[in-house]
Amino acid sequence: MPEQSLTFLKLGGSLITDKDQPETALIDQIDKLLTQIAEWRQANPSQRLLLGHGSGSFGHHTAAKYGTRQGVQSHGDAVGYQQVWYSARKLNQIIIERAQLLSLPLIAYPPSAVITTKEHEIVEWNLQPILQSLEMGLIPLVYGDVVSDLILGGTILSTEDLFVHLAMSLRPDRILLAGRVEGVYADYPNNQHLLPHLSASTESIDFLQGSASQDVTGGMVSKVQAMQALCRELPSLSVQIFSAVSPDTLRLALDGAAIGTTIN
């Protein structure tokens, strides 16, 4: 990898939580993943990293209950908005605390505090603090969260939504999306035919379906579509969708191994 390359890495909600059990973090799995990141950082001190994580069972169940992504118009909606914020915040704190034990220098930038959208599109986000933390050698941390919306009152942005916006300004060399599924399958949910490569220009992905568990931000379909569109905008970008369940798989991906599905 080139000197001072920038990697965006997402730890998917399905990877770090039990998505079918509300607010259940997989602590052992989180520790193993963060350990692999710490080892990679130690071996590659010049490489820059921006980390994101999904909300999994800490956000999606509550968000689905209140319909928060669709908007916040009533008092009941506002109660739900706060509950989704609180739930996502709890998982973020777990990640920070486990990373601190490994001396991983995470610094969180909660979207709810810094982003304004207009019908789901980001219209205001001061990225200078994130840029500054990268220059300091720290690891900025973002995550799926509620945000203020000028039309809808409030909504939810996924980690992929955040990555798309950040990528247009920060121009990462690659985006790694680590989850529980091995990659993009041509025959989901049978999962017998893994696609090692998916072109950014491929228009028909009718074979894809949403997440098997509760996912208010669209699951695999929206993930692939967003990453394809981003790769069309940034032709030098490579996106990898892969499973990081097996031991050391995340480290292999960070080291550049071609696992899962690559989009470019």
Alpha-carbon distance of 192 to 177, in angstroms, equals 20
2 — pLDDT class (breaks 50, 70, 90): low
Terminal C-alpha separation, the chain: 17
- In this prediction, residue 188 carries a pLDDT of 78
Phi, psi (deg, nearest 5) at residue 125: -165, 110
Report pLDDT for 207: 58
Write down the pTM of the prediction.
0.92
Q: Which domains does the chain have, with CATH numbers?
A: 6-263 (3.40.1160.10)
Helix (H) or strand (E) holding 13: helix 13-16
Model confidence pLDDT, tens digit, residues 45-97: 999 999 999 999 998 778 888 999 999 999 999 999 999 999 999 999 999 99
**How does pLDDT run across 205-233, given as a tens digit for each residue?**
665 655 444 454 457 888 899 999 999 99
The residues with which 153 forms a beta bridge, in sequence order, are 149
Strand positions, DSSP E, the chain: 6-11, 48-53, 106-108, 115-118, 121-125, 139-143, 145-149, 153-157, 174-179, 197-198, 238-243, 261-263
- Once rounded to an integer, what is the mean pLDDT over residues 228-256? 97
Residue 4's pLDDT is: 80
Token digits of residue 1 = 């990898």
Token pair, residue 233, equals 């905008």
pLDDT tens, position by position, 152-209:
999 999 999 999 999 999 999 999 999 999 999 988 778 899 999 999 987 656 656 5
